[in-house]
Every structure is written in structure tokens, then in C-alpha cells.
A and B are shown apart, each in its own frame.
Chain A
């Protein structure tokens, strides 16, 4: 059993009485693209800043290759970092900015020159070497920041919402670049974002943060298909939440009833019988049929339907007057119209029961 590349163990950070993060623990493999996803104030940036060395944890440990990072000063950690705002040195040219980490390490001039050339080629900015940061767009500045952060071949690259200040088109362009750079360099990346789409697009694995704790860690698919909590289900992708009362717990499955008394089954963790819960089903995993084809069908009324080209979007109303969203292929929606009564169905493994 080899030791994991980066280990975050039992991190806790409090400011006065406020707990910023608690029990944050995570192992990261070498070469992995790991994203911290969560709303603002969920502790994802605090965790990143502790790894970077800008903040000290109240408790816990951070180990890189089995050695503690916490007693190492930020400038000795040899970690690369890209910040949310453009933090290029405004008085230095692009080339001098990329050369900066090599200069402070007193590398020979010939090596610096070759490395700057190589890094600027990596981010496709070779022609911009003599520009000043103020003369470049935000996206270009962030690419220079990435080149600067990778210039000294750090084993770990930290990115704190690096694309948050850019517009959508530019963001997607740089996300694509980032994937390519990650593949070309093989650097381990810790990436912080509040944008779930960005997290899904970039990451090997995602750690979902909520209220200072990690809710769930997994690949995008794992988080989407098997969310472990209502928070994760709501944060990643679109979901319908239906109120249920749990009647019976089996092996990883729960039997519950809807407010209208109808029975339903779904995946569930440990649950006390008789407790209130929520059943989550994704909009695209639901089907609307004119007539019931299975036992697990809910009588609904179609309230609205929207043609979206590749799919159709429906709004349906349950007997207890809750509105649900459903997405279906266009041809499956034929024969339905606004106001018609229908039956809503889904496979029981797509239903998840949460507290």
C-alpha cells in the first residue's frame, strides 16, 4: 500500500466561535484533477488556503508525499497557484512574470529563457512575451497566470475559482485549455469552484462541500447517479424532490408513501421507520404515459410543455398539487397536451430517499 500523494486529514478551522471547516479529510492521487465544489462559505476556499499556506488549521494535518506541509512556509512549499483575480505583477512583462518564480529560485539565465518560451507555448501565448498584463484581456492574463504557476514544475497546482471573473464563452475556452494542459503536464490539480457544470467538465473527482464539511467525494457520474444526500442531489444537476413518509427499511432500499397514500420504493441509507423524508428523481429519468404501465405510477396532470429541439420539457402537477419537471425525447411526448391527465413513471432504482 503506497501512501497517497496528498493527504488532508481531519482539518478544522475556527475563527473565534465560527467554524469555517470541520472534519475535512481527503486523499488525492498523483496526477488527479480534484475539484472542491460548493456554495460560497462552504469551506472549499479555506481548505485550499490551508494547503497553500495562507491559513493555518486549528486542527488537522496536510501531508504531501507523506511529509507534513504545515510547518513549511508558503514560499517553500513549491506549490503552484492561480487566483480568482488576475494577480500578475503589473510592472513586469508577460515573459518576466513567467520567469519570476525561476528568478527567485536563482536558476541559470539560459534555463529561464528556455522555460519561459516553453510555458508560453503551452498556454498559446508565445507572441505576447513582451506585453504588460494591463494590455491583455482577462482570459489571456489567466493563461499567463497558469504558465507562471507551472513554470517551476510544481507537483501540485492549486486553482481558486480562476475563471469566475470571465464571461461564459471565454470560460469554456479556458476549461478546454485546462484539460489539455492537465493531460500534457500530468500535474495534480486542486480546483475550487461553485459552478457544478465546470466541476463536471474538468474533474476526475469532485468533493462536494457544504457548511464546512465534505458531503460526498466521487466522480461526476457517481455524484449524479448516486448522491448521498439531498444537498448533493440538489447541487449537482436538476432534481425533483417529493415529500414521503418512510414505512419500512430494507437492504439499502426504503418503502415509503406519498402524501396521497400511494406506495413507492427507492434507494436509501439507514432510516428510522415512520420518519419524514424526501424522494429525489431526476427530470430526465421520469416518463409521462397516457396510461399506467407499471405499479410505480403517479397520476398527474400536464400543466405546461416546452419544445427544446433535442428534448421536451414538461411541468406536471401531482395529486397534492406539487409541480414537477420532466424531460423526455420529443417522440416520447407525442399524444400529450396541456391539461391532459397522465401517469408519471420512473424505474425504482432512479428514486433516492433522503432525510
Chain B
């Protein structure tokens, strides 16, 4: 009897909100647990090993950042990721634009081609590029046949090979988010720009690119971050002279069993990635995107 009275005294709305909140947390528990066990624990273990093995201290990080070889690997990683991002942007923006303006029948076809390549086995696609790009491969033979070159070009086991292979793989990850942004832009906005006297180039520079910037930034960041940690394609198409971080980590773990150093390398990569993500949130998340009215 007294409990019934006291529960009447609590405002009904507040009670409801509280119970909804606790219920929400309860419903999220399985997901939180999953994230904890499968994501947070391994990362923390790795961090722990990087500062505990072989002896407690920061010597792994000192070695990583002090050695010419390792710094070179870091430089390669960022350079390759940067070049791949840039070229993916140059190829991806027109592709995404084409997808946005083509009649539905054609854009569906182009979409299918993009997605089909994405769903094909990564290893198979990378080997296919090896075959295409090698000294006696299709690309070289066509170029020789057309008389563009006299000598076969070296297109694999170097930076060119890695860039071609990775750009191809990364393309959908840029095109898909960018396409969504571009499709949201009203085509009559561009007509208005033309009527106002803007040339095609001015329309692109002053209207389309600024409006597409959120899509460009998120797509480019996605590609850059994925490229930083990519392993298979650089390992197969790149040579030893352009070793990237993921290859280094694989070598450290598989051949040298140096978990401490590998952990340190992985952790540095993680910190850089999170830093980039923070930059994007800071400048594009709350920035003046002007899309609020839509």
C-alpha cells in the first residue's frame, strides 16, 4: 500500500523516460560486449605488448622511430596512401558524377560493374593485375603494338603497380559515398549557375565542388585510411623497395616473432588514423556545409 502511494507521487513522464533509458542500455549490452571482447581487448593487448616486450618501457617506439629503415617504411606508407587517394579522387569524381547524371538504365549498369568488381575475390583481382601489368602482359603488348613504347615498361613490383592495383580496389569506397552526395545536389542549381554566366569550369569550381566537399572528404579519408593499412595488394604488386607498414608488421610477426615492435607499429598507425578522423569531424562535421536546409 505505501509503495503504491509513493509511486503515484513520482511524475509519470519522468518515470517513463528513466525506464526507457535503462531499457535502451540493456538492449545495447550485447553489442557493447561484442565490441569490448573483439575490438577493445585485442587493441589493448597489443598496446600492452608493445610497451612490455621484451622489457617494460618505450624502447619499441624508440626503435621504430629511430631507425632509418622503419621511418622509410612509414614514409612509403603515407606516400603510397596519399598518391592512391589522389588518383582515386581524380578517377572517382568523374565516375560518381557520371553515375549521378546518367539515365537510370546506364547508371544501373555502371553501378553493377563497380559492385561486381568489389564482390570479386581480392586476391584474384590482384593476380589479374599482375598478369595484365607484367613485362609480357596485355598492357605492355598493346602499348608496344601501338608503337607508343619501344621497350616493355616495368609496371609491377614498383610504385606504379601498387598505385594501379590499389586505386582500382579503392575506387568503389570513394565513388559510393560521393555519388550519394552528388545525387542530393539539385541539377537546377547547376542550370542556375550557367544562366548566371558561369562557364563549365566555373560551375565546377564555384558550385559543384564546394557542394560535393563533404562527400569528397569522407570518401577520400576512407580511401586514405584503408590504404594505410592495406596488405595484400602492396605485398603482391609492390616490390621490396616500397615496403609498407602492413608488410612490415606481417614480417615482424611471422618471421621475427617480434610482437612488441609489431604492436608498436600497429599502434602508431591507429593513432594517426584516429587523428585524421578527429580532423575530419572538426572541420567537416560541424562546418558550414550549407546542406542544413535540405
Assuming the A-B contacts A85-B186, A104-B197, A134-B293, are A91 and B192 also in contact, with contact meaning beta carbons closer than 8 angstroms in the complex? Answer: no
Can you give 23 A-B contacts (C-beta < 8 A)?
A75-B194, A75-B195, A76-B197, A77-B195, A81-B192, A83-B188, A83-B191, A83-B192, A87-B192, A89-B206, A89-B207, A90-B290, A90-B291, A91-B288, A92-B290, A101-B197, A105-B197, A132-B290, A133-B290, A134-B294, A135-B293, A149-B196, A152-B196
Whether B290 contacts A152 by the Cβ 8 Å rule is no
8 Å CB interface, A285-312 against B: none
B117 at the interface (CB under 8 A from A): no
Whether B193 contacts A89 by the Cβ 8 Å rule is yes
What mask results when residues 61 to 93 of chain A are scored 1 for a CB within 8 Å of chain B, else 0? Answer: 000000000000011111111010101111110
Q: B190's closest neighbor in chain A, by CB? A: A87
Among B191, B196, B291, B292, the residue within 8 A (CB) of A104 is B196
Among A85, A100, A134, A135, the residue within 8 A (CB) of B196 is A100
Which residues in B have their C-beta under 8 angstroms from that of A92?
290
A176 at the interface (CB under 8 A from B): no
Which residues in A have their C-beta under 8 angstroms from that of B193?
89, 100
Complex Cα distance, B202 from A152, in Å, reads 17
Chain A contact residues, CB within 8 Å of chain B: 52-54, 74-81, 83, 85, 87-92, 100-101, 103-105, 132-135, 145, 148-149, 152
Whether A101 contacts B196 by the Cβ 8 Å rule is yes
Which residues in A have their C-beta under 8 angstroms from that of B197?
75-76, 78, 101, 104-105, 152
Q: B192's closest neighbor in chain A, by CB? A: A87
Which residues in A have their C-beta under 8 angstroms from that of B206?
89, 100, 103-104
B87 at the interface (CB under 8 A from A): no
Complex Cα distance, B291 from A79, in Å, reads 28
Which residues in A have their C-beta under 8 angstroms from that of B288?
91, 132
Among B186, B188, B189, B195, the residue within 8 A (CB) of A80 is B195
B240 at the interface (CB under 8 A from A): no
Q: B205's closest neighbor in chain A, by CB? A: A104
Among A54, A90, A132, A152, the residue within 8 A (CB) of B211 is A90
Complex Cα distance, B206 from A91, in Å, reads 10
B198 at the interface (CB under 8 A from A): yes
How far apart are B17's CB and chain A's nearest CB, in angstroms?
Answer: 32
Among B191, B202, B210, the residue within 8 A (CB) of A87 is B191
B289 at the interface (CB under 8 A from A): yes
Whether A104 contacts B198 by the Cβ 8 Å rule is yes
Which residues in A have their C-beta under 8 angstroms from that of B151?
none
Whether A87 contacts B207 by the Cβ 8 Å rule is no
How far apart are A320's CB and chain B's nearest CB, in angstroms?
Answer: 51
Complex Cα distance, B207 from A11, in Å, reads 33
Whether B198 contacts A75 by the Cβ 8 Å rule is yes
Q: A104's closest neighbor in chain B, by CB? A: B198
B21 at the interface (CB under 8 A from A): no
Q: A74's closest neighbor in chain B, by CB? A: B194
Whether A91 contacts B196 by the Cβ 8 Å rule is no
Additional 13 contacts, C-beta under 8 A, given A87-B192, A90-B293, A103-B206: A54-B191, A74-B194, A75-B194, A79-B195, A81-B191, A81-B192, A92-B290, A101-B197, A104-B198, A104-B206, A132-B288, A134-B291, A149-B195
How far apart are B106's CB and chain A's nearest CB, in angstroms?
Answer: 17
Complex Cα distance, B194 from A130, in Å, reads 23
Q: A96's closest neighbor in chain B, by CB? A: B206
Which residues in B have their C-beta under 8 angstroms from that of A76?
197
Which residues in A have their C-beta under 8 angstroms from that of B136?
none
B199 at the interface (CB under 8 A from A): yes
Complex Cα distance, B206 from A134, in Å, reads 18
Whether A87 contacts B211 by the Cβ 8 Å rule is no
Which residues in A have their C-beta under 8 angstroms from that of B192?
81, 83, 87-89, 145, 148
Complex Cα distance, B195 from A80, in Å, reads 6
Which residues in A have their C-beta under 8 angstroms from that of B186?
85, 87
Q: B207's closest neighbor in chain A, by CB? A: A89
What mask results when residues 202 to 218 of chain B are scored 1 for a CB within 8 Å of chain A, else 0? Answer: 10001100110000000
Complex Cα distance, B211 from A133, in Å, reads 14
Complex Cα distance, B196 from A81, in Å, reads 8
Complex Cα distance, B288 from A79, in Å, reads 31
Which residues in B have their C-beta under 8 angstroms from that of A105?
197
How far apart are A69's CB and chain B's nearest CB, in angstroms?
Answer: 13
Complex Cα distance, B197 from A76, in Å, reads 6
Which residues in B have their C-beta under 8 angstroms from that of A100?
193, 196, 198, 206
Complex Cα distance, B198 from A103, in Å, reads 9
Q: A141's closest neighbor in chain B, by CB? A: B293
How far apart are A130's CB and chain B's nearest CB, in angstroms?
Answer: 12
Which residues in B have their C-beta under 8 angstroms from that of A89?
189, 192-193, 206-207, 211
How far apart are A182's CB and chain B's nearest CB, in angstroms?
Answer: 19
How far apart are A120's CB and chain B's nearest CB, in angstroms?
Answer: 16
Which residues in B have their C-beta under 8 angstroms from that of A80?
195
Which residues in B have their C-beta under 8 angstroms from that of A149?
195-196
How far apart are B188's CB and chain A's nearest CB, in angstroms?
Answer: 5
How far apart are A96's CB and chain B's nearest CB, in angstroms?
Answer: 10
How far apart are B207's CB and chain A's nearest CB, in angstroms?
Answer: 6
Whether B195 contacts A91 by the Cβ 8 Å rule is no
Which residues in B have their C-beta under 8 angstroms from that of A91?
210-211, 288-290
Q: A52's closest neighbor in chain B, by CB? A: B195
Which residues in B have their C-beta under 8 angstroms from that of A79?
195
